[in-house]
Structure 1
Amino acid sequence: MAIQGFTSVPQADGQDRYICNTCGGRDMNLNYLTRHVNSSVHQRNLLSIARGQNQASQSTLVGVLPGNAQNNFDVESDEGLNPNDLWYPFPAKECFSLDLKDIIAHEISNPYVNKHMEFYPHECYGKDIYALHQSAKWRECLSRETRVQMVEKANKHYYIFEPVTLKGPAQDIVIPIYFFKIKNSLYAKCIVPKLKDFPTTELKNGQPQIQLMIPQNIDYNSSNLFDIPVERFDLICSEMKWGDGTPFMDKIRHQLSCINVPNPWRHKAKGKIIRHVPITLYADDTSGNQSKRWNKHISYYFTLSGLPPVFSNMEYNIHFISTSNVAGALELGESIVNQLNQLATDGSCAYDCTLQQEVLFMTVPLCFLADSPMAAEITNTPIPGNCNNPCRICKLRVEAAEDRRGIVKYMVRDFMGKLTEDQRHEMEARLSSFNSDALHIHPIQAKYMLDHYKSFLGKDLRTIVQVAPFIFFPFMNQTELDIWISLCYICSMAFQTHIQDMDAYLAELESHIKIFMYNVVKMTAQWSKKPKFHMLLHLPASIKRFGPASLFATEKFESFNGVVRNAAIQINRHSPGHDIAIIFSNYQIEQLLVSGAHLYDSTVQEYFKPSDKVTDVFSRNPLIQQAMGYNSTALHESQYPRVKDTHVVQANLELVPEDIREMYPNQQVWQVSRKSPVPEPWEHIMCAINLGSELKVCIFCTGATVCGPGNSTRFQSNAVSICNTIALMENVKLKHPHASNANDKKVIQ
């Protein structure tokens, strides 16, 4: 078959092959020919011929076709290579993603989100830390180009690295370097510039110009910086004039050392307020099947870092970006990186529903979260054990193992593997009897825990760490107890969502980590080279940089994998990445409409808002809110934990049992409650003994001691499992309090 511009070469199999007369490409079948015709190189060569230029010589052709005997392309320049071209060595895979700038712009226009967002970092001086907007990373560690650029006060826009004057007769000149908040008031870290005269002929009056000089790369904690409230700012640089009437900008030649003045973002904003909207990015692989058959999908999600944790943990505020079952994490992330670079350097417009005006927002990824395998792939260290530097934080050089199990999993597998058959039965009884209400989890499946302890998930390990003091400790020797006690201390501190004093918290955490590492090395050396044990040493530094560990935990994103999986099973699987992206795009549109977001109508070129009848579907229907992942009950501050009211009415007061008075003769004992957890007429009272450094809780049946001197140590329990402790006690007989004689006494073991 003859095709214009191509030479047909008959083959023995009867199928013609084609040679491109323009590019010289050879040995193409019809499929390859179609792709070649649409390639950018072929189109460029045709354009050159149309302009009257001679056909490019074979030595300057860009690209090579499969099967061509000669690789005729210029090896010194690869700008003609395109991943979509046929001859590209690594053909591109189709990837589909939602537009980051549109998602973030819609969130700024969403009244359910905007009113809770923080656009400026907060300075708390290490006190009362609970959110990412209080993190040192946002406040101190961003580069000059990506940190908060401006603040608005009294209809004036003040930018960093632009001279401003302070209110007062002296009209002092300062230069803001960092913007932040202290107790919801805007402040700036400012420096006083040095002035240097030098002669010039550029000014009309022949006066010397002024050069403003400041140190380079000024650190946030530099002693040269001063905290100044933004309310004290007066004139911006364009309003300032020298004593002789010369505009200040002309006097300094529109430069601050080597930095151009005004700030380039002032030109980009064009009078708009700039919103700083950092995000928390996440990548993970999950299965697209509900069955056990693995169907790997790599997905990217993100949340807005400016939201408090109670809101960012909702599925309503977790946003899907992209997924693919054929592309790798880096291939999929290429377009996301390009979008982030554009938002960080140029920004994008959005409608701020709080300000009721259009704003410019800029975005930077505050942190990137992933599990160990995905983090290794993103950092190009897929096998940390074979890397020169297996730790991605410090310059550790060890022969780390390929095993990526966590610390708690090592400890659980070691402990559970040593249990005898009798101990396993007792362990099952203890797990079944534990009251898990206070942990806000479902009742513990004891048999599952014992049978599948080698394949625990993160939620299982968190449960084990919390119940270990009441379930595991009776089976341990002193060496194991030392390790587990220190481990439980570390976990209890890592689970904290609110840090009252950062310095004291970090000092205590580092102390417990050192104690734990010492106990581990003392017991066995087999874990000393495990990567996760080394990573534990970096936990305090990460908490200091970002805040409580829960802020950079991956659990909320891992739970969102189920949402993506539900979308994956409803498509025809011809193009999962495309179809899943369409599903989440439709979901986002529906979410914005019922939430009352301000959307842009390109026809009339103005913003509009859905009517109240549309928004009432969401605002007045908790079931719809729940279906969209919005938890309205989380908006109100929880009343827990709180000190329990220990007042007992006079009619229920009991005398302090003799055993308690004899056991603690010099301690204060008081009754805190009276309950009936077992069938009537069995009753017990709960007593608390103040021992100074600890508060011990014991149960007493009327007239008989349940936790006596011989058992109080072994069967110590917390208040949440106190009712079920009776079922665990061996060889402790409880006598009926109202039994009149020995024959009527009933015994429960």
Structure 2
Amino acid sequence: MQNNTRRQYDELYATPAVPLRIPNQPLEFNLRQAHFRPILLDEDMNGVSNADFEDLMMQELDSLKAGSEDDFMARNAEALRREIEILELQHLEAEFEDLLHANGEDEDIINQHFTGVPVTHDYAPYGNKTPVNSFQIRAVSPAITRIPLEDLCFNHEALERRIGTKIIFHENCREYPVQIPNKFRQVDNGEDLFTVWVPVWADDVSGARSKQYQKHLNVYTANANLPGQLLQQEYFVRFVSTSPHAGALEQLKVVVNHVKSTHREPVRTYNADTQRPCAFRLNVPDGPADNPQQAEESSHIGHHGNYFCRCCHVGGTSEEKECPDGYHSFYTPGRPRNVEEIRSCVLAQIRLSTYGIASRVEALQTSTGTKDKIAQHWIDILIQKAREAQAASPSRDVDEISTELLIWLREQTNEPYNPLLDLPFFDPSQDTLVEILHTILLGDAKYTWYELHHKWTAVQQDIFTIRLQGTNLDGLRVPPIRAAYMMQYRNGLIGKHFKTLMQTMIFHIHDIVTPDQFVLVRALGELGPMLWLPVIDNMEEYLADLQIFIDNLLDAFASIDPTKILIKLKLHVLQHIIQDIRRRGPAVRFSTEVFECFNAIFRLCSVLSNHQAPSRDIAAKFADLDRVKHILSGGYWFDESQSAWVRAGKDVQRILRNTPIIQRHLGWAPPPFWIPGQIKATAQKKQAKLAALTGEQAMLIGAANPASIPLDSATSLVGCVSSQ
């Protein structure tokens, strides 16, 4: 019987060979049928199919069991089963080894592919006899393979239903079974559930167009799932809230609560692509803002502290920073902060405040760089209450007073600190990304510009102004240069001015600056284009070059004024932009320029409000504006009268696509549309006025004047010719 079995296997293994794909998934052992069921669909491999082995083994075992009347025959059946498995394994291992050696693989790679796989597993090779819809056996590989989402056909539940048994994970993947099925299946009502990432921007804005500053704290957001080029359009910015009284963190607390609620009750909507109802939940990927606002969101003491970086623990006392090792530490990212550490430090400060000693709280804040704005409000109250309680009962135990005050605090609020510290999937210290508008243009470029002009004489200023005004703008995407204005208001320039100077200064300063200043301007000019790059083709090469340019800029500043490295946060924080780009892509994607531009729309809403309840009136105007955007964009809404999802008709949707003035008002830039073979004239500059003609000169060229209009010095040759 065994010889017959081997002969049948020899016939099966005579199948023509095809390239074998290296498998990398664990197997599942089925004790009832004594073979291994596969757990994933995959391409065919070489040899016979799993179904062939199954049929052959079951035929042999059934024939033995049919005539077995005692334990002796049962033991023979079990021995045959083991021998069949060993034959399968030996053949696959030999074929696997021959193929790998034929492809130039060495023995270490062969052993690596079989690491962790029990020797009794079924490694049946696959060939052209395998049915297309059969399940394949995959082995274990320590390598990590990334599979695009669109290539996946089945989820975990569908796979188990198709193979008819439970999937067993490898011991190296033991954390995955507890995450299956996805917990959000309990709240999605059987509909598609999406995750929408919404960065939250917050800052103070003036509500007036005059120089009188009417402070409003605003919160905006956008849909970060959109392509990067759309994120730079005002059309996709969404107003969240504003208040002249409530601070940014107070408003963000409501935002955080709303984000958390979408994880319990997702927002139901309609998918225009699939034409099916769906739902989504919100997550906050980052907090774009200027550096002071990001420090507040990170519960950080700010750039005036000894530990002035919100992202890491670089810094210390003056003696520690000025020593060689301390100074060098500012050229590299320090030990990173994290949200758990920040929350623990804030709670420790609250606990210390219940003993009534303010100096201890201040010492902890100074030594860690952690200072929470909301917690500070309660800390001041607790210190005062602790002192009053101790003065009223000097013999009372301070620990008892501390416990009593903590109980009182719990009755007042359940979150006496920054709400962002409890936001899921968000770490304020690492997710407040380095922002290039305020860090580069209004930081490093501004420092460089000041280093140049504050020592220039009037003659040098005039020379630079003339050269700058004569700049050739071909290839530059900057507004027309107003050199005289920029020099006159050289201490009050804004971002667009510094963007122009950063790209053009290097060509106009060759004989009016020192060699060190020239090196500084060159380093800044090399760094700028790298940070405004919209697409990164090779991430590792790009980051290596970017690191060199950042180091060059820091070295150039240090050669002119070494103290700037220690006191200017916007120089050190450049070291953290490397990691931010690695995590989130090009720096221009998380720039705040589009939010700053959106402030103009807010300002108009404020000016045109009723000024009785400005925040409510402004919110109502933005709600109307978003409603118009939704309708014109073809968005759906639920009509209760029809019990169906509806949207505007085609003619209404064409208004946005075919009306440029509405596109400009809503801040939408349509994609360029080119017709093959179309010819378009290049843009021409506006024609300047020419010299005027007298009446006699006009008559010489045959200019007619039927209306008897007087031809004097105001009549030009072009005007006369045009009238013909």
Match among 493, 499, 503 for residue 530 of structure 2: 493
* Partner AA of 2:478 in structure 1: I
Paired with 1:620 and 1:611, the residues of 2 have a C-alpha distance of 15
Query: Do residues 469 (structure 1) and 522 (structure 2) align?
Result: no
Paired with 1:525 and 1:511, the residues of 2 have a C-alpha distance of 19
Deviation, structure 1 residue 449: 1.0
- What does residue 315 of structure 2 align with? 397
Deviation, structure 1 residue 384: 2.7
1:558–1:260 CA distance, 2 compared to 1 (3 A): closer
1:194–1:584 CA distance, 2 compared to 1 (3 A): farther
- Structure showing the higher strand proportion among its residues: 1
1:635–1:390 CA distance, 2 compared to 1 (3 A): farther
* Partner AA of 2:291 in structure 1: S
User: TM-score, normalised on structure 2?
Assistant: 0.54
Larger Rg: 2
- What does residue 496 of structure 2 align with? 459
- What does residue 122 of structure 1 align with? none
Question: What is the RMSD of the two structures over their aligned residues, measured on CA atoms?
Answer: 3.7
Q: Matched residue of 1:385: which SS?
A: coil
- What does residue 504 of structure 1 align with? 541
Deviation, structure 1 residue 193: 11
- What does residue 280 of structure 2 align with? 361
Paired with 2:142 and 2:316, the residues of 1 have a C-alpha distance of 39
- What does residue 15 of structure 1 align with? none
1:235–1:453 CA distance, 2 compared to 1 (3 A): closer
- What does residue 5 of structure 2 align with? none
In structure 1, stretches of 5+ residues that fail to align are 1-162, 172-191, 196-221, 638-676, 680-749
Q: Matched residue of 2:209: which SS?
A: coil
Q: Is the 8 A contact 2:231 2:589 kept in 1?
A: no
What does 1:292-441 correspond to in 2, within 5 Å? 292-381=211-300, 383-386=302-305, 388-398=306-316, 406-436=443-473, 438-441=475-478
Match among 599, 610, 618 for residue 580 of structure 1: 618
Paired with 1:299 and 1:334, the residues of 2 have a C-alpha distance of 13
Query: Do residues 283 (structure 1) and 320 (structure 2) align?
Result: no
* Partner AA of 1:393 in structure 2: C
- What does residue 527 of structure 1 align with? 564
Identical positions, percent: 26
Q: Is the 8 A contact 1:483 1:516 kept in 2?
A: yes
Paired with 1:350 and 1:479, the residues of 2 have a C-alpha distance of 59
- What does residue 22 of structure 1 align with? none
Paired with 1:170 and 1:303, the residues of 2 have a C-alpha distance of 52
Q: Matched residue of 2:241: which SS?
A: strand
- What does residue 644 of structure 2 align with? 606
Paired with 2:583 and 2:276, the residues of 1 have a C-alpha distance of 34
Q: Matched residue of 2:485: which SS?
A: helix
Paired with 1:257 and 1:490, the residues of 2 have a C-alpha distance of 43
What does 1:520-669 correspond to in 2, within 5 Å? 520-529=557-566, 530-634=568-672
* Partner AA of 1:320 in structure 2: F
1:434–1:632 CA distance, 2 compared to 1 (3 A): same
Deviations 1:669-709, CA, capped at 9 Å, x for gaps: xxxxxxxx9x9xxxxxxxxxxxxxxxxxxxxxxxxxxxxxx
Paired with 1:511 and 1:410, the residues of 2 have a C-alpha distance of 20
1:232–1:433 CA distance, 2 compared to 1 (3 A): closer
Paired with 2:297 and 2:179, the residues of 1 have a C-alpha distance of 36
Deviations 1:529-560, CA, capped at 9 Å, x for gaps: 11111111222222111111111111111011
- What does residue 664 of structure 1 align with? none
Q: Is the 8 A contact 2:502 2:528 kept in 1?
A: yes
- Structure showing the higher helix proportion among its residues: 2
Q: Matched residue of 1:455: which SS?
A: coil
User: TM-score, normalised on structure 1?
Assistant: 0.53
Q: Is the 8 A contact 1:298 1:324 kept in 2?
A: yes
Deviation, structure 1 residue 619: 2.3
1:345–1:635 CA distance, 2 compared to 1 (3 A): farther
Higher mean alpha-carbon deviation, 560-569 vs 462-471, is at 462-471
1:490–1:636 CA distance, 2 compared to 1 (3 A): farther
Paired with 2:147 and 2:535, the residues of 1 have a C-alpha distance of 28
Deviations 1:583-604, CA, capped at 9 Å, x for gaps: 0111111222222211111233
Q: Is the 8 A contact 2:263 2:282 kept in 1?
A: yes
Paired with 1:248 and 1:440, the residues of 2 have a C-alpha distance of 57
Deviations 1:267-302, CA, capped at 9 Å, x for gaps: 322321222321222112110000000011111111
Paired with 1:521 and 1:453, the residues of 2 have a C-alpha distance of 23
1:430–1:275 CA distance, 2 compared to 1 (3 A): same
* Partner AA of 2:572 in structure 1: H
Deviations 1:225-281, CA, capped at 9 Å, x for gaps: 3334664655743662699x76669xx9xx977715422222322321222321222
Q: Is the 8 A contact 1:351 1:598 kept in 2?
A: yes
Q: Is the 8 A contact 1:310 1:634 kept in 2?
A: no
* Partner AA of 2:269 in structure 1: A
* Partner AA of 1:453 in structure 2: R
1:493–1:267 CA distance, 2 compared to 1 (3 A): same
1:380–1:227 CA distance, 2 compared to 1 (3 A): closer
Q: Matched residue of 1:500: which SS?
A: coil
- What does residue 81 of structure 1 align with? none
Q: Is the 8 A contact 1:167 1:233 kept in 2?
A: no
1:332–1:473 CA distance, 2 compared to 1 (3 A): farther
Deviation, structure 1 residue 490: 0.9
* Partner AA of 1:495 in structure 2: W
Deviation, structure 1 residue 326: 1.0
* Partner AA of 1:528 in structure 2: I
Q: Matched residue of 1:323: which SS?
A: strand
Q: Is the 8 A contact 1:288 1:568 kept in 2?
A: yes
Deviation, structure 1 residue 383: 3.3
Deviation, structure 1 residue 362: 2.4
Paired with 2:210 and 2:117, the residues of 1 have a C-alpha distance of 69
Q: Matched residue of 1:363: which SS?
A: strand
Q: Matched residue of 1:301: which SS?
A: strand
1:476–1:590 CA distance, 2 compared to 1 (3 A): same
- What does residue 41 of structure 2 align with? 166
Paired with 1:193 and 1:614, the residues of 2 have a C-alpha distance of 63
Query: Do residues 480 (structure 1) and 517 (structure 2) align?
Result: yes
* Partner AA of 1:511 in structure 2: I
Q: Matched residue of 2:491: which SS?
A: helix
Q: Is the 8 A contact 1:242 1:248 kept in 2?
A: no
1:336–1:481 CA distance, 2 compared to 1 (3 A): same
1:416–1:260 CA distance, 2 compared to 1 (3 A): closer
Paired with 2:466 and 2:519, the residues of 1 have a C-alpha distance of 24
Query: Do residues 449 (structure 1) and 368 (structure 2) align?
Result: no
* Partner AA of 1:326 in structure 2: H
Paired with 1:193 and 1:623, the residues of 2 have a C-alpha distance of 66
Match among 265, 284, 288 for residue 184 of structure 2: 265
Paired with 2:653 and 2:116, the residues of 1 have a C-alpha distance of 53
* Partner AA of 1:605 in structure 2: S
